[in-house]
Structure 1
Amino acid sequence: MKKILGSAIGVIVALGALSTAGAWYTGQQLPEVLGTSIKKANEDMAKTLPAVGFSATVELLSLQQQLFSSDARYRIKLVGSLDGEAPANFEWTVTDHIEHGPFPLSRLKALKLLPVMATSNYALERSPELEKWFAASQDGAPLQGQVSLGYDSSMQGDMRLQPLQMDLDEQTRIDFSGLNIDFDTTADAEQIAASGVMDSFKVSAKLASDESMRLEFKGMNLSSNTRKGVSDFYLGQNEVRLQQIELQIGENAPILFKDFVQRDETSEANQQLSARYSYDVGMISYQGTDIGSSQMLWTVKNLDAAALQSMVELYGTLLKDGKVDSESGMPELTDAQTAQFKTDLEKLLAGKPGLALEKLAFKTANGESSFSFGLDLNKPVSFDLPAPELAKQLIAQLDAKLRVSKAMITDVIGVQATLAGETDNEAIAQQAAMVGEMASGMAVASELAVLQGEDISSSLHYANDQVTFNGKQMTVEQFVALAMSSGGGLAGMAPEAPAEEMLLEESEAESPIQ
């Protein structure tokens, strides 16, 4: 028994000695580690923030060291504007209680037993400029968190935005439940994984029309898993999920967007970037009636990474210098910047980039309509060509497809009538079916669409100065002539078309959905 007790005491003493030695080592290394981290952060922000019109710096104000912990203060300066107006200046101070490794007390309390170099407990410091924010957060630090630094320079931690209720001005109020974000990064942020949770964020405002407006986001979850590619762009996946988005104007019933999901994915191959962006709404609902779901998917491909990086940096510089018009968004370029932009654009086009709206769809109970569009580009021989010849050389190919489901038209008209108070389901169904048939008849008569089964469809393909429209080959001039003549004919049919006899008059007059 004495041997066991002696061994246990020996282990405790050894761990205590190891902890003390580790704490002393951390204390000796801390100034250099902080200096390196701050320098790297400033370099990274100098590369990325100008692209969105901002610049930021971090400065170490003070560092007080003890054996097992240290206390630091940082100053963060932020200058910039998102709308191109006069830049705003922000200056925040952050306090940081740093627990020395290898076994910081806060980690031991949380049963995190892996050794780390240090654990940072940071919080925004109160100041006169932030008094309103602190007061709205029940007088606690509105921004705070914890970060543990590993001996391999990896970081693991969290950031917490506290709940707040704040009047931005006399017309606008914010109610925020708070946001928690957990993150894990490798050395130099080469790989970043993050996840976050928010219960609700609500904005209430009075509009210029003197009506009230309420926009509320509920049940948000976000996740991110990215790594830095060869081009210095971050590659990987990001996702944001919202259980519900609620929009209400005046005394009208709110419109609900349920199960919203936004995803993006970026990849890299042969110094070229590709990306996918998708937006899904599980159901759109009004007055308790489900209307339909929607989906949108964008893709870009073959973006020369070096050229894109140069263009982003140039635009960031222009934003920072106030050389971007706030209304038009057009930059003011010097001759040297114009030459640089032209060189980057030529390099970008030489990679044959492509942009596509792969799917824009709306689905109801009985039908789905969709639209897609794709554009592939080429590098022209010269940008000084006449506009028609320049367009011909720029566009490698163009594809567009439209498909409208007659069943979806019937569903939408039926929902509109129901929301307007119509109760005769048989009459609603008959009138809705008539509108669907009328729409398909007008589209086919105009020669702008064809009927495929129960769908009204139209397709366009362009390449090598030739157009294939709804399966028929023609020149660009012939297609333009067809579109103009068909459009004019369609417009001329409008006064004579018995649409007003087919649509439900009360539905058209009273329905909030137009």
Structure 2
Amino acid sequence: MKKAVIAGGVLALGAAWTGAAWYSGKMAEALLRESLEQDNAQAKALGESTGFSIVTELISLERGVFSLKTRFRMQISILGEETREIEFVEQADHGPFPFRRLAAGDFRPAMAAGRYELQETPKVAAWFAATQDVTPLKGTFRVSYDKKREGTYEFAPMTFVKDGATMTFSGMTAYGSLEHDTKASEFSGQFDSLTLDQTPKTNGLTGMALQGAAFTLRRKPGKNNILLSDQKLAFKKLAMTYAAQPPISVQETSVALNLIETDSGLDLKTTLDLGMINAWKQDVAAARLAMDLKNLDADALSAFGFINLLVYVRAWQGGGVGGLPVFSSNDLAELAISFDQLLMGSAHVSLTPLQLRSAAGVSNVNLDMELLKQEAAAPGSAGLARLRKLHAQFELSQAGTLELLVFWGRFLGLPPDQTRELVRPKVEAVVALGTAMGVLKIENDTIRSSVSVTGEQVDVNGIKMPLNQFLQWIGAGAGNGKN
């Protein structure tokens, strides 16, 4: 009797599992088709505005009771170039407890989970050759019952050789997720090294090595369809070699951008920590920048985001001198309008600080500025007429400034002694003129200056005057400096 009860329970459990797996597979297929339709609609709109799009085509789908096998083709299109195609195969197990995830020790319920791999086709033959026939890209994915998608990306180590240049990549691991309802997303990854070596030339870059790179990008929709974001990029070391100059290296560096939403608008916080630059076997300088833009206009920020995307697309297309991106007159006009739009609200800009550190001294620039609101943007509209308040403080090391200018001259190919002879009298002349005018104060090695603007009044180191008089004063000083 007990055996019959147990057997009946096992059969009931098996039937329930089979039914749940079949239903989960049906849900997974419906979600897959829905997601493809939405993604391709967005890709079409993007292509119409920028000439760049990624469209995904479902080639085949085989759904069983416990598993789902699909094959995709992604078409990457750039205006004026041949469309590039790559294909993937996904093998998924249905929920509520996908077999592959159970085998991996993951007991969380899921609609589907599995693995995917890039397929070898003539279009990606060079990629497979670079990895010595190891699958260049593969990973895992998981779809929960609340339709959240998450997965891993595994890029294999690879080496490309072309036209005398060799690029070696250590491979990369990455993670991505997307919430179905909130559209919040995350993408992060890291890799050990990326190196580039090319045939020596009479001048120019011959090699580059990037070590210990990592990135994180988190996004979520805010009001007015603005994507709020938290981004960070960091590396441990960047080294560059040149044909006619000594190598230059940059130590541990990071940059972070955080776009947040407040009651008064949008705030963009930017932090850059540039590690010590080393050249000619000596430390040159390190830098730190902390900038905060407050009360930004949401519509303008969206337009500016479009411009950023346009820059990437034009950079991919290349075609300019030295492979630099080419922008049409319409591109440049839209960039100018968008920048002015960006500051249309009662924007508040703070720079606390911009700092340069060297063995010779430390220089700091602090800036706090408020702009008046304007109703419409026009090229050049973000000028002095929009200034509500400004306060700036400068603390510059004379020795540090001189050494940075000497370094720049050496980088341009001038001998260090000759560069110092050229630069030193010019720096001393500017300091002497600024001191005579009252714009600058000298304390030991440090050049100090404080400037405040409120409406039409200016205060320079305690000297007060109307704004127009200040501009004339500075103009006269600049003329004397040229003479």
TM-score calculated relative to the size of structure 1: 0.75
**Corresponding residue of 2:64:** 66
**Corresponding residue of 1:98:** 92
**Corresponding residue of 2:330:** 331
Task: Work out the CA distance in 2 between the residues paired with 1:122 and 1:260.
Answer: 34
Task: Give the direction of change, closer, same or farther, for the CA distance of 1:367–1:154 in structure 2 (3 Å limit).
Answer: same
Task: Give the direction of change, closer, same or farther, for the CA distance of 1:109–1:132 in structure 2 (3 Å limit).
Answer: same
**Helix, strand or coil: the match of 1:331?**
helix
1:455 aligns with 2:453: no
Task: Report the alpha carbon displacement of residue 471 of structure 1 after superposing the two structures with TM.
Answer: 2.9
**Corresponding residue of 2:395:** 403
Match of 2:155 among 161, 165, 173: 161
**Helix, strand or coil: the match of 2:194?**
strand
Task: Report the alpha carbon displacement of residue 95 of structure 1 after superposing the two structures with TM.
Answer: 1.6
Task: Give the direction of change, closer, same or farther, for the CA distance of 1:114–1:477 in structure 2 (3 Å limit).
Answer: same
Task: Work out the CA distance in 1 between the residues paired with 2:472 and 2:189.
Answer: 54
Task: Work out the CA distance in 2 between the residues paired with 1:50 and 1:317.
Answer: 12
Task: Give the direction of change, closer, same or farther, for the CA distance of 1:313–1:226 in structure 2 (3 Å limit).
Answer: closer
For the Cα contact (< 8 Å) 2:77–2:83, is it kept in 1?
yes
Task: Give the direction of change, closer, same or farther, for the CA distance of 1:210–1:44 in structure 2 (3 Å limit).
Answer: same
Structure 1 residues 92-135: Cα deviation after superposition (integer angstroms, max 9, x where no partner): 22221122222223212221111111114222222212111111
Structure 1 residues 176-207: Cα deviation after superposition (integer angstroms, max 9, x where no partner): 11111113332246222343110001122347
- Code of the residue aligned with 1:290 in structure 2: it is D
Q: What does 1:90-129 align with in structure 2 at a 5 Å threshold?
A: 90-129=84-123
Q: What does 1:182-197 align with in structure 2 at a 5 Å threshold?
A: 182-188=175-181, 190-197=183-190
**Corresponding residue of 1:260:** 253
**Corresponding residue of 1:205:** 198
Larger deviation, residues 184-193 vs 210-219:
184-193
**Corresponding residue of 2:365:** 371
Match of 1:352 among 346, 350, 375: 346
Match of 1:78 among 76, 85, 98: 76
Task: Report the alpha carbon displacement of residue 350 of structure 1 after superposing the two structures with TM.
Answer: 4.9
Task: Report the alpha carbon displacement of residue 456 of structure 1 after superposing the two structures with TM.
Answer: 0.3
Q: How many residues of Structure 1 are paired with residues of Structure 2 in the alignment? A: 461
Task: Work out the CA distance in 1 between the residues paired with 2:460 and 2:154.
Answer: 55
Task: Work out the CA distance in 2 between the residues paired with 1:235 and 1:378.
Answer: 25
Task: Work out the CA distance in 1 between the residues paired with 2:232 and 2:311.
Answer: 30
Q: What does 1:227-306 align with in structure 2 at a 5 Å threshold?
A: 227-250=220-243, 252-270=245-263, 272-306=265-299
**Corresponding residue of 1:470:** 461
Larger deviation, residues 262-271 vs 108-117:
262-271
**Helix, strand or coil: the match of 2:209?**
strand
**Helix, strand or coil: the match of 1:297?**
strand
Task: Report the alpha carbon displacement of residue 362 of structure 1 after superposing the two structures with TM.
Answer: 0.9
**Corresponding residue of 2:421:** none
Match of 2:35 among 24, 37, 47: 37
Gaps in structure 2 of 5+ consecutive residues: 409-423
The higher-RCO structure (CA 8 Å, 6+ apart) is 1
Larger deviation, residues 356-365 vs 171-180:
356-365
1:23 aligns with 2:15: no
Task: Work out the CA distance in 2 between the residues paired with 1:28 and 1:362.
Answer: 60
**Helix, strand or coil: the match of 1:231?**
helix
Task: Report the alpha carbon displacement of residue 488 of structure 1 after superposing the two structures with TM.
Answer: 4.0
Task: Give the direction of change, closer, same or farther, for the CA distance of 1:473–1:7 in structure 2 (3 Å limit).
Answer: farther
Identity, % of aligned positions: 24
Larger deviation, residues 462-471 vs 91-100:
462-471
- Code of the residue aligned with 1:369 in structure 2: it is S
Task: Give the direction of change, closer, same or farther, for the CA distance of 1:226–1:312 in structure 2 (3 Å limit).
Answer: closer
For the Cα contact (< 8 Å) 1:53–1:316, is it kept in 2?
no
**Corresponding residue of 2:413:** none
Gaps in structure 1 of 5+ consecutive residues: 417-432, 493-514
Task: Work out the CA distance in 2 between the residues paired with 1:8 and 1:207.
Answer: 77
**Corresponding residue of 2:132:** 138
Structure 1 residues 304-350: Cα deviation after superposition (integer angstroms, max 9, x where no partner): 2134335656997999999xx964553179xxx99xx98x9997655
Task: Give the direction of change, closer, same or farther, for the CA distance of 1:486–1:332 in structure 2 (3 Å limit).
Answer: closer
Task: Report the alpha carbon displacement of residue 259 of structure 1 after superposing the two structures with TM.
Answer: 1.1
Structure 1 residues 200-256: Cα deviation after superposition (integer angstroms, max 9, x where no partner): 011223476455521111011223343222233332422222111111112644222
Task: Work out the CA distance in 2 between the residues paired with 1:286 and 1:448.
Answer: 34
Task: Work out the CA distance in 2 between the residues paired with 1:370 and 1:72.
Answer: 58
Task: Give the direction of change, closer, same or farther, for the CA distance of 1:436–1:135 in structure 2 (3 Å limit).
Answer: same
Structure 1 residues 4-27: Cα deviation after superposition (integer angstroms, max 9, x where no partner): x99998886665444322221123
Task: Give the direction of change, closer, same or farther, for the CA distance of 1:49–1:143 in structure 2 (3 Å limit).
Answer: farther
CA RMSD of aligned residues (A): 4.3
TM-score calculated relative to the size of structure 2: 0.80
Larger deviation, residues 259-268 vs 375-384:
375-384
Task: Work out the CA distance in 2 between the residues paired with 1:384 and 1:138.
Answer: 55
- Code of the residue aligned with 2:395 in structure 1: it is R
**Helix, strand or coil: the match of 1:133?**
helix
**Corresponding residue of 1:215:** 208
Larger deviation, residues 88-97 vs 405-414:
405-414
Structure 1 residues 28-68: Cα deviation after superposition (integer angstroms, max 9, x where no partner): 33331211111232344456677765222222121112222
Task: Report the alpha carbon displacement of residue 294 of structure 1 after superposing the two structures with TM.
Answer: 1.0
Structure 1 residues 432-461: Cα deviation after superposition (integer angstroms, max 9, x where no partner): x99998885565246442124652022333
Task: Give the direction of change, closer, same or farther, for the CA distance of 1:73–1:384 in structure 2 (3 Å limit).
Answer: closer
Q: What does 1:497-512 align with in structure 2 at a 5 Å threshold?
A: none
**Helix, strand or coil: the match of 1:187?**
coil
Task: Work out the CA distance in 1 between the residues paired with 2:203 and 2:378.
Answer: 52
